[in-house]
Amino acid sequence: MSAEAHHAEPGFFRKYLFSTDHKMIAMQYLFTGMIMAVIGGYLAYVFRMQLAYPSQQVPGYGVVSPNEYNSLVTMHGTIMIFWVAMPVLLAAFGNFLIPLMIGCDDMAFPRINRLSYQVFFLSAVVLLASFLVQGGAFGGAWTSYPPLSAKGAYNLTPVGASMWLVAVALEFVAFLLGGINFVVTTMNGRAPGMKMYDIPIVVWMIVLATIMFMFSVGPLIAGAVMLLFDQLLGTGFYDPGRGGDPLLWQHLFWFFGHPEVYVVLLPALGIVAEVVAVFARKKLFGYKTILHTAWAVWVLSFVVWAHHQFVAGIDPRMANVFSITTLLISIPLAEMVFVYIATLYGGSIRLATPMLWALAFMAEFLIGGVTGIFLGASGTDIYFHDTYFVVAHFHYTFVPIAIIAVFAGLTYWYPKMFGRMLNETLGKIHFWGSIITFNVIFIPLFITGTAGDQRRIYSYAQFAEQARPALQHLRVVSTLALLVFIAFQLIFVFNFLWSLRHGQRAEANPWMANTLEWTVPSPPPHGNFADMPTVYRGPYEYATPGRREDFWPQNVPN
Amino acid sequence: MNCATRLLALTGLLTLTAKAASACPACMSTDPKTAGTYLGMTLMMSALPLGLVGGLAYWLWRHYS
Amino acid sequence: MSSPSPSVDATVIMSIAPGARRPSNAVLGTAIFIAAETMFFAALISAHTIARATAPGGLWPPANQPRLPVQQTAVNTAALLLSGVLLWVGARIADKASEVAKRCVLGAIFLGVAFVSLQGAEWIRLLRQGLTLTSSSHGGFFYLIVGTHALHVAGALVALTWAYFGMLRNSVSPAVYTASRLFWYFVVLLWPVLYLRVYL
């Protein structure tokens, strides 16, 4: 498909900056996402320090002003969701895995794929540049609710607010371009013999998430254009004084924003499915069940958005419907986790680092799901609204998705991506250090939230009735745990970089897995497959009775 | 009556138990059409993506099978 | 999986081999893109409908704002619909290499350009009469919705013109020919909906 396939070694710029090869584009997305994760983590460090030790010098930053605090939390949320979870889970894993796992040489539209990354890169540059403009980066929360976001006089970051919107809009254009590629490639590029039910779960999940993204993002782009007009041209779409309606933004934003949770969740569930089947050495329990529950999530995800308006204002009859749909959507997700646990049952489990991460995903995501029930029911939500309980809840969903599942995927596919094995001992130290500290960060926030701590308060000095000095030690514990968590990530960074050169060389199939990406050398050459593969069976035929080996690759005739 | 129908019926009953609230932008309007407009647009936005993907899936299924 | 024999493999491969009816990459990609676009316009329409329903005093457009030229725009609407019909009939009755198909595409392009020009003239008149983006939420929604549609028409015209020049050189691929037409049908069919919601 790509014209360069037969060329000699291309030059540096051709190879690393203007490549149309899906693997190189995946790496570009991966490394951009990882750099953004470092920035997002740094922001979290600064504002957690402010919350634990108000108005003191933060090492490596200085004293945090109220405006800066708003910018820090806004940008932390924005970066972690839109510039870390999305590019890594969807774009990096999607680009790397889809062509390799379905057995084709590249994406359907390689040049559109390259354009997708370039637009994404531009969006990251615009977002980061907004730190440098007058007033600083946008400080109106990552949800950007008007009227706060619509007027510079309210959010005090007039330039940053518009740059935020432009960056988000550009990013969505990038993922629209990439997403069309994913769906078309999976539909038309599959190896001969690969039927619908032979596609690996992670590919299905990335494609379903992409379709979900593309069907929900339109309303947010429409809303963003209107908000940009309100900011720059002085229209009044969200100004109640001029016939507008600030609630309109909340609907348009969450029409995308809530499916977005499932857009990043489904690929994470897909990664976990692959890892669980390989390291339990057992056929994935209920392949079709997983697919059907994923479709159920897909359908329900479009009818839950208004649960974000329970407090802002919604017809109570409507609120009941959205409560019910919100609680319903936990059923297919719980079913999926049950299916994974059933896969473990009776398997010969190997507790390698990827498997540890996959198991941790199930345990931690369970806590996130269960605490979500209190927020989905409109009655309890009115109490918990905008407290640290909400913060702890969505970190118990997003950290398993964007951190834990990503580590499961990275440690699992690292040999395929870079041709070397990661160090197992360092991997396990990193795993335990991260998982324990992650819980110590957020369990205290459940407690402070239940006691009534409000989000987005810079300092309790001005809110004496909110201060609750007795809870300060919990806030400190949470911050200290974050410091330890960040320190443990350095181990991963070291392991990642050191293993690139000094890790043990990886053979083609170090985990003895069945899917097609493990049939090619590590790392895969340009064009992926020397001979295009033919597929004879599903991807999870492990421990088949009567077979000498306990795995049965998809492309082996018998 | 199977489980799903019962659940649906229960959902319908529950929604009727709610009363108008002052936080509800449509409830306090003097024009009864306003609440209907909100409901209609909510239904449209909910049903449209499902209909679109259903149509797309049907079209693909026809062409691929 | 039963023991695979050569004949079984052959049928498996046959059953998913690319058939003649299988949509090409470009057509499939365009179809998905159109679905995403539909959601974009649905959001604009729903926002507009709510704003209209909750307008103070139920007055839409507001009393001091100019009325929209319903009849004149009906002419534009007819031009756009006609271009869609022309394109559809052309592809229906003739092969893409034939003179008839080329003339139909050219006719559709001219009618599309006519639509955009007439809309532009209408905007200039409305702006002179005092309907601007900021004069009221009525004006804001009018320019936003009609303007984004106009941008889509312009983009679709570029695609169609590109396909036309490809047809002149006999180098247009069936995929590009179909995909550009598909996108044109989308902007044509979208317009009556917008016309009914915004103008009437």
Reported as type and span, the H/E element at residue A140 is none
Interchain contact, C50 vs B41, CB within 8 Å: yes
Note the pLDDT tens digit of each residue in A33-89: 999 999 999 999 999 999 999 999 999 999 999 999 999 999 999 999 999 999 999
Judge whether A532 lies within some domain: no
Work out the angle at residue A272's Cα, subtended by the Cα atoms of residues A271 and A273, and round it to the nearest 5 degrees: 90
Report how far apart, in Å, the C-alpha atoms of C4 and of each of A318, A487, A556 are: 55, 53, 11
Residue C11 has what pLDDT? 38
8-state DSSP, C163 = H
Is a pLDDT exceeding 90 seen at residue A437?
Answer: yes
Is the residue at A72 inside a domain? Answer: yes
Q: Residue A181 domain-assigned?
A: yes
**Closest residue of chain B to A296, computed from CA coordinates:** B50
C154: phi then psi, degrees, rounded to nearest 5 = -60, -45
CA pair distance B17, C199, nearest whole angstrom: 39
SS3 category, A549: coil
Across the interface, which of C31, C42, C50 has its CB nearest the CB of B38?
A: C50
Q: Tell me the average pLDDT of chain A.
A: 93
Length of chain A, please?
558
Q: How far A311 CA lies from chain B's nearest CA (Å)?
A: 8
**Residue A549 within a domain:** no
Interface of C with B (CB under 8 A): 16, 19, 21-23, 28, 31-32, 35, 38-39, 42-43, 46, 49-50, 53-54, 58
| CB spacing of C23 vs B63 below 8 angstroms | yes
Using an 8 Å CB-CB cutoff, list chain C residues near A223: 43, 47
pLDDT of residue A491 exceeding 50: yes
Q: What is the pLDDT of residue C60?
A: 84
Sign of CA dihedral C86, C87, C92, C97: positive
pLDDT band at C6 (very low <50, low <70, confident <90, very high): very low
A530 burial via Cβ count (<10 Å: 0-12, 13-18, 19+) = exposed
Question: Which pLDDT score, from 0 to 100, does residue C12 have?
Answer: 38
Residue A493 structural domain: 20-519
Whether A551 is covered by a domain: the verdict is: no
Question: Any idea which of A204-208, A271-275, B17-21, C111-115 has the lowest mean pLDDT?
Answer: B17-21
Can you tell me the mean pLDDT for A302-331?
Answer: 86
- The verdict on a CB contact (< 8 Å) between C38 and B31 is no
Model ipTM over 0.85: yes
Neighboring chain B residues of C21 at a CB cutoff of 8 Å: 63
Domains along chain C?
A: 24-199 (1.20.120.80)
pLDDT tens per residue, range A230-265: 999 999 999 988 888 898 999 999 999 999 999 999
Q: Residue B60: pLDDT band by 50, 70, 90 thresholds?
A: confident
Interface chains of chain B (3 or more CB pairs under 8 Å): A, C
For residue A554, being part of any structural domain is answered with: no
A387 close to C (CB below 8 A):
no
Query: Concatenated DSSP letters for A275-321?
Result: HHHHHHTSPPTTHHHHHHHHHHHHHHHTT-GGGGGTTT---HHHHHH
Q: Chain A residue with minimal CA distance to B26?
A: A315
Measured distance CA(C70)–CA(C72) in Å, rounded: 6
Query: What rounded mean pLDDT belongs to chain C?
Result: 87
Q: Is residue A118 part of a domain?
A: yes
CA distance C174 to chain A (A): 16
Evaluate whether A287 touches A318 at the Cβ level (below 8 Å): no
Beta-carbon separation of A180 and C17 below 8 A:
no
Q: What's the token pair of residue C91? A: 């592809």
Q: What residues contact residue A288 under an 8 Å CB cut-off, 6+ apart?
A: A197
Choose from A208, A317, A331 for mutation: most chain B CBs within 10 A. A317
Chain A residues in contact with B26 by the CB 8 A cut-off are 315
- Which residue in B has a C-alpha nearest to residue A188's C-alpha? B64
Average pLDDT over residues A21-42: 96
Q: What is the pLDDT of residues A261-313, one digit of tens each?
A: 999 999 999 999 999 999 999 999 999 999 999 999 999 999 999 888 888 87
Task: Let me know: does A380 contact A393? Beta carbons within 8 Å.
Answer: no
- CA distances A132 to A37, A126, A138, A168, B29, Å, are 19, 10, 11, 17, 46
**Whole-number percent of chain A with pLDDT over 70:** 98
CATH number of the CATH domain containing A245: 1.20.210.10
- Structurally, chain A folds into a number of domains equal to 1
- Shortest Cα distance, chain A CAs vs residue B58, angstroms: 14
According to DSSP, residue A136 is labeled: -
C144 pLDDT higher than 90: yes
Of A217, A237, A243, the CB nearest to C56: A243
